[in-house]
């Protein structure tokens, strides 16, 4: 059982790490893009940058992107582990036929 806990914790950490990296990257790109585009002058004006609006935009992109990226990473890991198990069972395991 200790091995299963290690695998589960490794999967959890990998999914959360991927989710955080993807969410931060997407959020940074969107915020910089919106700040540069400045639709309607809501991000910056004569008095400088409206940091409250930039923060609201960042949060509105960060949280959903994080959750979707974590779910995506977990499903990809689940798929890869499943295909690896099938590969080992049918092509590398005892059931594989050897050429003689």
With a CB cutoff of 8 Å and minimum separation 6, the contacts of 58 are: 27, 31
With a CB cutoff of 8 Å and minimum separation 6, the contacts of 42 are: 50, 53
Can you give the residue range of the structural domain that contains 82?
2-33+60-91
Q: What is the mean pLDDT of residues 18-38?
A: 95
Confidence of residue 100 (pLDDT cuts 50, 70, 90): very low
* Assigned domain for 39 exists: no
**CB-based burial label for 87 (10 Å; 0-12, 13-18, 19+):** exposed
Which of 3-12, 22-31, 40-49, 59-68 is least confident? 3-12
* Assigned domain for 40 exists: no
Number of domains in the chain: 1
Q: What is the pTM of this model?
A: 0.73
* Assigned domain for 17 exists: yes
* Assigned domain for 99 exists: no
* Assigned domain for 52 exists: no
């Amino acid at each position: 059982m200790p091995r299963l806990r290690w695998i589960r914790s490794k999967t959890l950490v990998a999914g959360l790490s991927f989710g955080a990296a993807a969410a931060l990257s997407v959020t940074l790109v969107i915020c910089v893009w919106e700040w540069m585009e400045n639709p309607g002058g809501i991000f910056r004006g004569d008095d400088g940058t409206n940091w409250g609006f930039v923060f609201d935009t960042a949060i509105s992109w960060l949280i959903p992107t994080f959750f979707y990226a974590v779910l995506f990473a977990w499903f990809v890991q689940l798929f890869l582990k499943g295909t690896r198990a099938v590969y080992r069972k049918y092509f590398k395991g005892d059931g594989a036929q050897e050429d003689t």
